[in-house]
Amino acid sequence: MHPLNWIIVALYLVYAVGDGVRRAKGTRELEGYLAANRSLPWWAVGLSVMATQLSAVTLIGTTGQGATDGMRFVQFYFGLPLAMVILGVTLVPFLHGSRIFTAYEFLERRFDAKTRSLTSFLFLLSRGMSAGTIIAAPAVVLSALLGWSLVGSVAVIGIPTVIYTMVGGVQAVTWVDVKQMALIVFALVALVVALLLQLPVRPDDALALAGAAGRLRTFDFSFDLSNDFTLWSGLIGGTFLMLSYFGTDQSQVQRYIAARSVDQARSSLLMSAYWKIPLQALVLLFGVLVFVFYLFRTPPLLFNPAHQRAVESAEPVAYRALEARYQQALAEQRRAAEAVAASRKAHHGDPDPAAVGAFRDGRAAVEAVRAEALRLARRVTGESAGDVNYIIPAFVLHHLPVGLAGIFIAAVLAAAMSSIAAELNSLATVTVIDFYRRWVRPVAPDRHYLAVSRAATGFWGLFACGIATFAGTLGSLIVVVNRFGSFFYGSILGVFLLAMIPGARALGAFVGLIAGMAAVAAVNFGAPSVSFLWHNVIGASTVVAVGLALSIVIRPRSGRARKPA
């Protein structure tokens, strides 16, 4: 990589750490460290929430998904604006108004200590593991593409993040997030513009080719429970997932309870609703345009360079045969793509159906060879051979002008760091507030809790880096951890929904939570074809149904339920 790119990456890392440490002023008390003295403006909180949710996987994986699968993934976010509005008028006023540090404190006020401890324990369990995978995903890709060791990649992402999160707490995390979000959006827009300038066809023809290949099909109205991305799974399942994520996950809640007022907290959430669908559409559209770019330029047979080297070395004859067939298929596809563009010009924008048919045949031939190559890579390496995450980084490193690759890598690091910082901050907060202060040392000077919070941040940082190093070498572990985490989301949302219902009681909430997780596990193992987005609906509904039923049947001796705080 050109030295200018390295300079850009180094400058970004130094700036992020410096800015984070500078923001440590005013964090000499626990209220400042964990809640920024409830003083943050809504737009900063909103950008921080967005940066937290936009991880490195979004930049390298979702763009790759746009290239291979098109725009339909955007349906996943259709429930987000709805969820934000619901949270803004229901849960946010209670959480912000309660002057709490963690969302789970609210559950003890409403129900009891065991419900609080179980939900906070589930949070630590799932988020502790996922913090490692958030680092692992980009670290694996960067190490393969840049030739770094995995430990080195993990260190470059993890160490700066741990430093500024440990020193500056939520205030540093939020303000660095704002800069990171600006960098990510700038990088995305710059990449799209640079790509459009490099395309050998007009943008209008590029979109026509993407459309002919099915990459612009956004809306799927089929009601298919096994399909991850349909309008209904996005609207219904996505709404439940976003309600759970933004309403009950401490990494999000901690941002908006630091806002100046309830109205500012609500508005900060709406900022995510504002930009999420357009931003996600831009991310996917960038991937779609990279797909069009590779119709005219030769893409590698395997985008993962480590897999390519392994296959070339282990199966040289088979690889050369596949490569020859690939080149031939690519040449035919290119001719067909040019014919589609030419026919549009000749017919005032309407392509010749015969040219479109030939182009689709060409696509099918290219994809068939690629599928064979991926199967060969899986057999040779014994690893999952999907290379979606490598498409965009490979494109950026090999085809973009000097400087843009550095900006892209800085943006990937920013996306990873903003997500991991929020995770570390929230994990430390739950550890200290929901366990240490609750069960181990309820009374101590403020400076003691502050020191323990910093130590907890450091501990979770080391833990996440350790998990990332192992998760990076065990690809399937990432899938397992993500799946494991999805068991809890809907159920935890169910407990918070129960908390909003006046008649719900503590025992109902606790048993309902366990029943919800059991129901999701049963669906997951008994009917694996049901898409994960529906798990959130099933988990939340089961908790509310079981919790309410128990609350009606079993009445406590006092005969009174606690009112919502």
Partner 1 sequence: MARPEAIEPATGAAPPEPGPGRLFRRTLLRVLVVQGIALVLLWWLQAHYGT
Coil, helix or strand for 360?
helix
CB nearer partner 1, residue 84 or residue 358: 84
Contact between residue 65 and residue 223 where contact means Cβ atoms under 8 Å apart: no
CB nearer partner 1, residue 85 or residue 518: 85
Task: Answer yes or no whether residue 120 interacts with partner 1 by CB under 8 A.
Answer: no
Question: Exposed/middle/buried for 144, CB within 10 Å: 0-12, 13-18, 19+?
Answer: buried
Site string for partner 1, 366-405 (x = CB under 8 A): ----------------------------------------
Query: Minimum CB separation from partner 1 for residue 169, in Å?
Result: 21
Task: Answer yes or no whether residue 109 interacts with partner 1 by CB under 8 A.
Answer: yes
534's CB contacts (< 8 A; 6+ apart) are 225, 233, 236, 237, 523
Question: Exposed/middle/buried for 285, CB within 10 Å: 0-12, 13-18, 19+?
Answer: buried
The correct pick among 83, 84, 412, 416 for binding partner 1 (CB under 8 A) is 84
Tokens found for residue 298: 């030769």
CB nearer partner 1, residue 86 or residue 369: 86
Name the segment binding partner 1 (CB under 8 A); options: 92-100, 146-154, 303-311, 513-521: 92-100
309's CB contacts (< 8 A; 6+ apart) are none
Report the C-alpha gap between 142 and 152 in whole angstroms: 10
Task: Answer yes or no whether residue 442 interacts with partner 1 by CB under 8 A.
Answer: yes
Total residue count of the chain as it appears in this document: 565
Contact between residue 424 and residue 177 where contact means Cβ atoms under 8 Å apart: no
CB nearer partner 1, residue 75 or residue 304: 75
Task: Answer yes or no whether residue 218 interacts with partner 1 by CB under 8 A.
Answer: yes
Query: Minimum CB separation from partner 1 for residue 70, in Å?
Result: 10
Q: By CB under 8 A, what part of segment 126-185 binds partner 1?
A: none
Report the C-alpha gap between 359 and 329 in whole angstroms: 11
Residue with tokens 């596949």: 322
Buried b (16+ CB within 10 A) or exposed e, 542-562: bbbbbbbebbeeeeeeeeebb
CB nearer partner 1, residue 13 or residue 84: 84
CB nearer partner 1, residue 557 or residue 560: 560
What are the distances in angstroms from CA 160 to CA 10, 70, 364, 388, 425?
Answer: 11, 35, 45, 28, 14
CB nearer partner 1, residue 214 or residue 316: 214
Task: Answer yes or no whether residue 345 interacts with partner 1 by CB under 8 A.
Answer: no
Q: By CB under 8 A, what part of segment 235-264 binds partner 1?
A: 261-264
Task: Answer yes or no whether residue 439 interacts with partner 1 by CB under 8 A.
Answer: yes
Name the segment binding partner 1 (CB under 8 A); options: 1-9, 266-274, 508-516, 532-540: 266-274
Task: Answer yes or no whether residue 81 interacts with partner 1 by CB under 8 A.
Answer: yes
Residues near partner 1 (CB under 8 A) are 42, 71, 74, 81, 84-85, 88-89, 93-94, 96-99, 108-110, 113, 207-208, 210-212, 214, 216-219, 261-264, 266-267, 270-271, 273-275, 277-278, 281, 351, 353, 356, 437-443, 562-565
